[in-house]
Amino acid sequence: MTEEIETRIQKMDRSSLRREDFFKAAEILRNGGLVAFPTETVYGLGGNALDTGAAARIYAAKGRPSDNPLIVHIADREAVVRLASEVPEEAWKLAERFWPGPLTIILKKSELVPDGTTGGLSTVAIRMPSDEIAVALIRESGLYIAAPSANASGRPSTTRAEHVYQDLAGRIPLILDGGPVNIGLESTIIDLTAGVPMILRPGYISMEQLQDVLPNAVYDRAAVSRTADSGIVAKAPGMKYRHYAPKGKLIIYEGDQESVVRAINEETKKQCADGRRVAVLAAEETRECYICENVKSAGSRRDEETIAANLFELLREFDEEGAELIYSESFETVQLGQAIMNRLLKAAGYHIVRV
């Protein structure tokens, strides 16, 4: 057990960010400590990417398995040349189009990057975030910042500073509070070391968008699998763990809308009669169809951005309310839906009921 420390939350005013606002955080990072900060995707738990000790503290604070590598956040292109030993033309094309933004690129790592940051892999994951607080923190610290999502390992990623506090209070000294994040799902990850450009994790940047730049980009099968198929080994180490999970048991119902509603209502009736605390995760269009007392709408099926932004927060709300069983509708898997279903399936441990 590590010793408890006091966790301070520093409110950031996005309309008037000043250099001074980052002095304390930058100092902590330069001394090998950890700072949680907002990015456009989710909150990150940052440490100096070139300091093995900082990486070790990130793993300890999250309770994260140390073979699960960290994404290195940068603020300028030159950093890529320092962090990677080889930079293929494809990387520059992707950077040109999608950086700063929610795309993580995997390249062969240079000597500079310690094994502690890459979980022992010979590759390194690099991203240039667009969130102005993230960018200013990287600039002010003068570091490359390794940052996984700022949640306790296995729990839903954090989209607000309050969530970070729930998971990491007592373990880190500082959280920069920039309010709710924009996107709400982690970055798309693409691996450029595997022969063909391979998408290891779906995210806000869709396959269609990536193929527009690199027509031969493909999904890693594990990234879009609908089963916990043991024959498929995830290439992003983090994708093999049960992840994003609420404390209650989450089950996804799939089928035509009417059958899904009927099946969830039947199950709700049965479980409530047994005294279990049941909740339902639905789309706005169907929320009124459920008999359950606790129905949450993730948003309209026509507005996937809202569903993405709400998903992790709703999973956390179910926890706070003590939901023991959570029945969820399933969502379309085109474009952003691909990422939404990927996270939902992992949160459910791939537990799907087809009706």
H/E stretch holding 71: strand 71-73
41 binds Mg ion (CB under 5 A): no
Which CB sits closer to Mg ion, 312 or 327?
312
C-beta closer to Mg ion: residue 183 or 280: 183
The closest of 234, 131, 242 to 187, measured between CA atoms, is 131
Residues of this chain that interact with ligand AMP (CB under 6 A) are 68-69, 71, 106, 118, 121, 123-125, 148-149, 186, 189, 200-201, 235-239
**CB of 109 closer than 8 Å to CB of 123:** yes
In the complex, the smallest distance separating the C-beta of residue 149 from Mg ion, rounded to whole angstroms, is 3
Task: Determine if 39 is a binding residue for Mg ion (CB under 5 A).
Answer: no
Task: Compute the Cα dihedral for 210, 212, 214, 218 and give only its sign.
Answer: positive
Residues 118-177 that bind Mg ion (CB under 5 A): 149
> CA torsion angle for 54, 309, 322, 265 (degrees, to 10)?
-150
Give the containing element (helix H, strand E) for 313: helix 304-320
Radius of gyration for the alpha carbons in the chain, expressed in angstroms and rounded: 20
Query: CB of residue 190 vs ligand AMP: minimum separation in angstroms?
Result: 10
Least spacing, CB of residue 158 vs ligand AMP, in Å: 10
- Token pair of 288, please? 């009124």
Tokens at 177, concatenated: 């509070």
Residue closest to ligand AMP when measured from CB atoms = 238
**CA atoms of 258 and 286, how far apart (whole Å):** 9
Please say which residue, 88 or 237, places its beta carbon nearer to ligand AMP. 237
Q: Which two tokens stand for residue 87?
A: 């930079």
Binds 160, which of Mg ion, ligand AMP, none (CB < 5 to 8 A, cut-off by type)? none
Question: Least CB distance from residue 243 to Mg ion, whole Å?
Answer: 7
Query: Least distance (Å) from ligand AMP to the CB of residue 204?
Result: 13
- Phi, psi angle pair for 254, to nearest 5°: -130, 135
119 versus 178: smaller Cβ distance to ligand AMP: 119
**Closer by beta carbon to ligand AMP, 177 or else 220:** 220
Chain residues binding Mg ion by CB under 5 A are 149
